[in-house]
Amino acid sequence: MVFKRIEMQGFKSFADKTEIDFLTGVTGIVGPNGCGKSNIADGVRWVLGEQSTKTLRGKSMTDVIFSGTEKRKRHGFAEVSLIFDNKTALFDLPYNEIYFTRKIYGDGESEYLINKKQARMKDIQALLSGIGIGKEGYSIIGQGRVEQIISAKPEDRRVIFEEASGIAGTKRKKQESERKLERSRENRERLLDIIKEQERTLKPLEKQAANAQVYLKLRDRLKHLEINNFIYRFETTSETKKNLSVKIKTVSKELEDKTKELEKLNVQYVETAAEINAIDSSLAKIHEEILNLSLSLERSEGDTKLSRERLEFFRTQYESLTAEVLELEKTQRQIKEEIDQGSFEIRQKNMDLKGLSRDKEEATKTYLEIIDALTAGEDELSKNQNALYLSLETLADVKAAISEEEARIEISTQRTKDLETQIQLEEGKKERATEDLRQAKIKLAAVEEGIRAMLNKRSETLKALNTLRTEVAELEEEVGILKTRESVSSNRLKLLKDIKESGEGYGHSVKRLMDAGRMHPEVKRLYDGTVGSLFKTTERYEVAIETALGSAISNIIVHSEEDAKKLIGLMKKNNMGRLTFLPTLSVKPRNIKREYESAVRELAVANAVDVISFDKAHRSVFESLLGGTVVCENLDRAVRLAQRTGYDFKIVTLDGEVLSTAGAISGGSRKNEGTSVISRDREIEELEKTVKETQEAYAKKSSLLTDKRLERIAKERELEVIVEQIKKIEIEENNFKNAAEVKNSSANLAMENINSLTKEKATEAKTIKDAQTKIDGIRIRQNSIMSGKAHADESMLIRQKQFENLKIERDKFNEIITDTKVKIAHVEKEIAAINDTNFRLDNQREEIEKKLIAAIDAKQKTEKTIESQEKLLLEKSKEKGGNKTAEQLETVRTKLRTMDTYKKEKSDSLVLTEERRQRLSQEVTSIAEKKFNEE
């Protein structure tokens, strides 16, 4: 097989005509996502007969047509052609190249072509299946197809191997042939049933045909004899002829009078019938008027009720909106109060901040003044010391060294404090980073546990989905079987009903009467039905009851003798043949004598009338037909019973033998004449039950199948959701991992900073210790020098005390400045927090204002709607059309009752006229026959 190329035009993303050649070897199509690679595979699958829009990634089949862009119009059709090389006669077609084409138009019209000639989808599939290509086989392997093939059921995998081996087409033909054979088998069974029914009626028709031939011979013989008799009488009875002339004149006069009277009655009958028709037309108009008035009255009441319900709904909605508006206004006021309170607190904090700034400036100013005074005092002290103790230069150097070392100690001490503060900050950062890292690891562990749980859930869902798919396939097979069973039973039931409706099994006269009853309801009301159609029995007694009834099974059951007379008159008038009518009011029941009850109980199965079921209104008829008949198990028992009872009543056996009261015994083999009238009704009832049960089972299975399909779809969607959640959780896991790495880096950096600051703190401590050692050595020298200048120190004591006081003042103001800075920073932080709160409350207030405006607008609209509904309801309540319509309705009904009474009177008059007309017609016929005979 050589697949040469594919041609596409208007198919999905291929707006222009596109040809892709498949050269010898492997052809690959590459490109970024969304460029249309999958559309090529969809095109191949589409030509091969794909009918699933889901597989083609669309909602309807017309979605494969190029839908257009901003610059290009939508295409009116889509066409894809697969071209194969046929030089090796791979296909049984006289072409070197074979074009398989599928085309669809915008209106959904689709067509298949083989070398540009009209074809069917199954023609293309049949040709391609012969070389192992099909839309469901191995020839197209799409995304997920390999996994689907591996996990498929054995019977599904078998389809792939059948396609690969090239027998899929043969199997498809086999299945189609089997379906045709099944349909032919069903048609054959139906034809056999019809043939059986027709064969059953063939024997009576043969008898009737033989009787008709005898009748024709006798009629010809009678005609010949009547002609000879007429000639004889004409030639030999001239005197009698004269006497008959007088009689003929008398009879003619009587015939003329009766004919005139009959014509008058006919005119009267026609006028009465026309008047009744006119009354019927009036009644129809009155009924229509009653219907219109009733509908108008109901419509008016319904509109009023609907308006009240709508008004109540809008009132409830108005109350709800009012409550919502009040709640929003309350919330708005609360937010405004909170914002005002925050603004007030900000103003207070700003005032405090300004005061603290002033205090800081004043303290800083005083601090600088003290520093200047100290500097000036130190300068003055140094000058005085230089002046006083020029000779004590060494002591000055010592003090200078002490001051230098003390300053170094002070600087190192302050640096040590700063380093400790920084170390504490870095330790805080490290602890926070460590805690964040621990929390991130906990969350990461939870996320990983969630991934494992979702993977387990995906596995369970996939397992449940596969189970559901199996259940759906099994249910589809069961539904198909039930559908086939219901179809077969329905066809058989329809056949039997058609046979019953056509009156098969009854004589010509019964069929004609039933036809008249179906066409004329007034005729159908005169009779209840045939004897065979008005009782039921079990299958065991069907043969016995049918034999016991004999030809009486075709008798017609009526209510009274009058109904029988009317039907007999109708049959005479329309030449419908003869029938036997059984009036329920006049037929006398028959019973078995009490003296035979013990023998009947001993040898008989039951009384014939006791093994059938019928309407109690027909009891007299069936007791008349079967009350004097008993049923025995077999002929031996029947003979024994007849001998003991002296053949006083009819006896039938379950096999159809009959012992008459005259002593005759009838029996023998029964010809299979098809379904009897009794068994046909039983079979119809059983089939109706079977069809109903099958339909119920089909509906139940279909409902279960629908539920399972919906459950399968839900599971598929659940699986998609789980996969999506797994992707989201994996993204979250990566985020937590990145966050953990960041927190770990922060903790490591903080640790490095702590180590560096600790080293620096140790260096400062060493500097302080070295300076203190130097000071101790210098102080030893100072003490030795100071002993020589004690008297000079006394003069400097006052100045020294002043200098110390200035230092104390300096330290005091330094602390004040530091405290003020801390307070300023705290107040600024509080102001920022209040500003954030006010910003959030302001946004919340804007949202509430929008909701409030919308609620007020809805409330105003609802209020207007309530006013319009109340106005409409008030207008409807003022209308008096309903009462007026009710009065009109009662008036028309009264008129209807009057017309019904008048119609009944006319109908009774018409019946009497018809009876007189029939009697007079019979008299006219009798007189005419008499006249004919006289002539």
Average pLDDT over residues 651-656: 89
8-state DSSP, 1: -
Judge whether residue 753 has pLDDT over 70.
yes
Pair 532, 554: CB distance under 8 Å? yes
Which of 135, 155, 157 lies closest to 51 in space, CA to CA? 135
Judge whether residue 835 has pLDDT over 70.
yes
Q: What is the CA radius of gyration of the chain?
A: 59
Measured in degrees and rounded to the nearest 5, phi and psi for residue 362 equal -65, -45
Average pLDDT over residues 580-590: 87
Among the ranges given (81-95, 439-453, 641-655), the one the predictor scored with the smallest mean pLDDT: 439-453
Query: Taking all residues of the chain, what is their mean pLDDT, rounded to a whole number?
Result: 76
Measured in degrees and rounded to the nearest 5, phi and psi for residue 759 equal -60, -45
Could you read off the pLDDT of 335-351 as tens digits, one per residue? 777 777 877 877 787 88
77-81, 376-380, 441-445: range with highest mean pLDDT:
77-81
Please tell me the predicted confidence (pLDDT) of residue 755.
81
In this structure, what token pair is assigned to residue 457?
């859930």
Strands 97-105 and 110-114: antiparallel
Q: What is the C-alpha separation between 511 and 505, in angstroms, rounded?
A: 9
Q: What is the C-alpha separation between 202 and 192, in angstroms, rounded?
A: 15
- pLDDT-derived band at 674 (thresholds 50, 70, 90) equals very low
Strands 650-653 and 629-632: parallel
Average pLDDT over residues 863-875: 71
Q: What is the C-alpha separation between 514 and 502, in angstroms, rounded?
A: 9
Query: 776 or 579: whose pLDDT is higher?
Result: 579
Please tell me the predicted confidence (pLDDT) of residue 102.
92
Judge whether residue 483 has pLDDT over 60.
yes
- pLDDT-derived band at 385 (thresholds 50, 70, 90) equals low
Which of 800, 719, 65, 932 lies closest to 377 in space, CA to CA? 800
Average pLDDT over residues 715-744: 77
Q: What whole-number percentage of the chain has pLDDT above 90?
A: 3
Average pLDDT over residues 568-591: 86
Could you read off the pLDDT of 234-287 as tens digits, one per residue? 556 556 666 666 777 777 777 777 777 777 777 776 777 677 777 767 766 776
Please state, as a whole number, how many other Cβ atoms lie within 10 Å of the Cβ of residue 574: 11
Judge whether residue 436 has pLDDT over 80.
no
Please tell me the predicted confidence (pLDDT) of residue 672.
47
Please state, as a whole number, how many other Cβ atoms lie within 10 Å of the Cβ of residue 545: 25
* H/E stretch holding 769: helix 677-786
Please tell me the predicted confidence (pLDDT) of residue 704.
82
Judge whether residue 586 has pLDDT over 50.
yes
8-state DSSP, 648: -
Q: What whole-number percentage of the chain has pLDDT above 70?
A: 77
Among the ranges given (25-34, 402-411, 709-718), the one the predictor scored with the smallest mean pLDDT: 402-411
In this structure, what token pair is assigned to residue 587?
């037929």
Q: What is the C-alpha separation between 286 and 422, in angstroms, rounded?
A: 107
- pLDDT-derived band at 538 (thresholds 50, 70, 90) equals confident
- pLDDT-derived band at 630 (thresholds 50, 70, 90) equals very high
Average pLDDT over residues 711-719: 81
Helix, strand, coil % in the chain, rounded to nearest 5 = 75, 10, 15
Q: What is the C-alpha separation between 442 and 592, in angstroms, rounded?
A: 100
Pair 498, 521: CB distance under 8 Å? no
Average pLDDT over residues 130-155: 61
Q: What is the C-alpha separation between 691 and 688, in angstroms, rounded?
A: 5
**CA distance to 179, 411, 413, 812, 824, per residue, from 417 (Å):** 101, 10, 6, 18, 22
Please tell me the predicted confidence (pLDDT) of residue 270.
72
Judge whether residue 775 has pLDDT over 80.
no
Average pLDDT over residues 471-486: 78
**Contacts within 8 Å (CB) and 24+ apart, 683-692:** 683/496, 684/493, 684/496, 684/497, 684/500, 685/536, 687/489, 687/492, 687/493, 687/496, 688/493, 690/489, 691/486, 691/489, 691/490, 691/493
- E strands of 708-790, at which residues? none
Among the ranges given (434-448, 475-489, 751-765, 879-893), the one the predictor scored with the smallest mean pLDDT: 879-893
In this structure, what token pair is assigned to residue 208?
């009737």
Please tell me the predicted confidence (pLDDT) of residue 101.
94
- Give the contacts of 326 (CB within 8 A, at least 6 positions apart): none
Which of 823, 157, 718 lies closest to 454 in space, CA to CA? 718
Judge whether residue 150 has pLDDT over 80.
no
CA dihedral 70, 71, 73, 75 (to 10 degrees): -100
- Give the contacts of 604 (CB within 8 A, at least 6 positions apart): 630, 631, 632, 637, 641, 651
Could you read off the pLDDT of 498-534 as tens digits, one per residue? 655 555 556 677 777 877 887 888 888 888 888 877 8
- pLDDT-derived band at 113 (thresholds 50, 70, 90) equals very high
Pair 874, 301: CB distance under 8 Å? no
Query: 299 or 414: whose pLDDT is higher?
Result: 414
User: Which string of DSSP letters, residue by residue, matches 377-388?
Assistant: HHHHHHHHHHHH
- pLDDT-derived band at 803 (thresholds 50, 70, 90) equals low
8-state DSSP, 564: H
